[in-house]
Structure 1
Amino acid sequence: MQHLEEQIAHLTRTIDELNEVVTQQQRDIDRLLRQVQMLLDREAQREAEGGGGVIIGDERPPHY
């Protein structure tokens, strides 16, 4: 019986530690999503203003 209680205590501690990791990862994901959205908004604004100085993919630079 004591062995089972020790296992339960160990598993409970492991679950708590994993929960902390998952919580921190979610915070990081939320922060990164906000940053990506900010960059997308900034790029959309730049394109709307006629800037668009970033070459994406197969676009040829303006001097071709």
Structure 2
Amino acid sequence: MDEQRFIDIETKLAHQEMIVEELNQVLYQQQKTIDQLEKLVQGLTKKMKELVTDESGLEIRGHEKPPHY
């Protein structure tokens, strides 16, 4: 293998290593965002369940007419 070809391969390898590291950082940030969003959804789900239940513990129906109708 001649010297220039060896240099070209090393250059390409270094470039590929840099790209892999950048992709790892992006993946890490995306996973952090997903984790935060999952926690947010869990919290919102809990709040929605609390809102759907009135003080007496009975589930409030969304589309039922009130008793005075």
What TM-score range do you get, normalising by the shorter chain? 0.7 to 0.9
Matched, 1:23 2:28: yes
| Count of residues in correspondence between the two structures | 57
Q: CA RMSD in A?
A: 2.2
Which structure has the larger Rg over C-alpha atoms? 2
Matched, 1:6 2:11: yes
Cα deviation for residue 60 of structure 1 reads 8.0
Normalization by structure 2: what TM-score? 0.70
Cα deviation for residue 9 of structure 1 reads 0.2
Cα separation, 1, equivalents of 2:64 and 2:10: 67
Within a 5 Å distance, the mapping from 1:1-64 to structure 2 comes to 1-49=6-54, 59=63
Unpaired stretches in structure 1, ≥5 consecutive residues? none
Percent of aligned positions with the same letter in both sequences? Answer: 30
Unpaired stretches in structure 2, ≥5 consecutive residues? 1-5
